Amino acid sequence: MDETTDRDGGDAKSGEPGGAAGRGQAALIEDGVEFDGRDAALLRAVHAAGSVAGAASDLGRSRARALSRIEALEDAFGTLVERRRGGSGGGGSRLSGAGRDLLDRYDRLQAVLAATAQVPETVLDGTVTSVDGELADVDTAVGTVRGLHDGAAVGDAVQVRIGADAVTVYTGDERVDPDSTSARNRLRGAVVGVEAGETVSTVRVGVGEEAFRVLITAESAERLALDEGDEVAIRWKATATRVVSQSAVSGRE
């Protein structure tokens, strides 16, 4: 299993902190299923309430949706909640050992990300080519990148900012089905450097003349065994990408 995130796409291997959970928000990913803060809250509520129904009520969710989410998580992470049928001692639910371990890992990872006040970014210059609601397509040196904008218009000169905790890196030859992920920004490149940390490492991936930064956990770094020159793919969500006008950037400097 990969940590916050680590993501596996078939035989392809990956690692990323942040992901869909958002900037600075931990997420553990296994077989394309993300375990994030809402899931952690659900497991904690099950532990406190002693039942899925009680947990759902405490969180203001429906029991059916809570059960469905737990089942989806268990398909990827294994048994997380042990159910007990009613009897002389009554029924209920409790976290399994795997469920407690998953929460512990999530908490450790979230603590690391929270301690990283300044997440490194990759910044690309570009020009807006189209706008669709809150999203804008930007022509950059590495191709078209899509991200969230705030009032951008076609033709505007902008900066595209991508947090290193939002990017996933993949190795292996197998291609991930584009329809199996909501990460619409995808590029191929090669590792140009790895800065090893005690808990989180920074991988630099060269795409053309640009170098993207990707945060991965130490566990993922060991498992992926990335070396300089390794060919990889990176991807990240449009909603984790910020499109900022050049005039706004100049005004802050």
Rounded CA separation 213/202 (Å): 6
| Per-residue model confidence (pLDDT) at position 78 | 95
Residue 189 CA to its chain's centroid (Å) = 19
| Per-residue model confidence (pLDDT) at position 248 | 53
pLDDT tens for the chain, 253 residues: list them: 444 443 333 333 344 444 434 444 568 888 888 899 999 999 999 999 999 999 999 999 999 999 999 999 999 999 999 987 754 444 689 999 999 999 998 888 777 666 554 678 899 999 999 999 999 999 999 999 999 998 899 999 999 999 888 898 888 654 544 444 456 799 999 999 998 887 888 999 999 999 999 998 888 888 888 999 999 999 998 988 999 987 655 544 4
**One-letter amino acid of 101:** D
| Per-residue model confidence (pLDDT) at position 28 | 85
Q: How far is CA 56 from CA 21, 28, 36, 121, in A?
A: 21, 22, 17, 37
**30 in Cβ contact with 19 (< 8 Å):** no
Tokens of 168: 């996933």
63 membership: H or E segment, kind and range: helix 63-77
Catalogue all structural domains in the chain, each as residue range(s) with its CATH number.
25-115 (1.10.10.10), 121-252 (2.40.50.100)
Tokens of 174: 């197998």
**106 in Cβ contact with 35 (< 8 Å):** yes
Three-class DSSP category at 158: strand
Residue with tokens 């997380």: 80
Rounded CA separation 52/67 (Å): 7
